[in-house]
Homo-oligomer: A and B are copies of this chain.
Amino acid sequence: MEDVLEFEKVKSCSKQFVLAINDTLNVMNGKWKLPIIGSLLYGKKRFKELEREIPKITPRMLSKELKDLEMNGIIKRTVYNTIPVSVEYELTESGHSFQSVLDAMLEWGLGHRKSFFTNFKKVDSN
């Protein structure tokens, strides 16, 4: 309830509006962030597991994007003193809640595909 009020309040305040949306944009920007988040939604993973699960990603890119996501508080990195060391990556609470954005994107994307391929393409071929 309180959150809905705050949400409505902020929609009219463009500075905060822009900052919050920009934060969200930064979290997903680039070619690899969403695949990484998507993969971690199903549980914690190690570096090599992610590398295998995400087709065509190079270790350089994976390493860079993981650092980015960690700095933004989306994932948590844990090092275990095994020999050799193993490292696990998992989503933070914020990271998990990001699924709501993915859901909105999925829903809009599906609706848009539908209307795009019916309305627009037909008009185009006249």
Q: Which residues of A contact B (CB under 8 A)?
A: 3, 6-7, 10-11, 16-17, 19-25, 27-28, 34, 72-73, 93-94, 97-98, 100-113, 115-116, 119-120
Contact = CB atoms under 8 A, between A and B. Distances in A.
Contact of A108 (B19, B73, B101, B111): B101
Q: Which of A3, A10, A103, A104: most chain B Cβ within 10 A?
A: A104
A119 B94 CA distance: 11
Majority-rule SS of A interface residues: helix
A73 B19 CA distance: 27
Nearest to A74: B112
Nearest to A7: B107
A105 B73 contact: no
A105 B20 contact: yes
A21 B24 CA distance: 15
Contact of A111 (B16, B19, B97, B109): B97
Contacts of A110: 6-7, 10, 16, 20
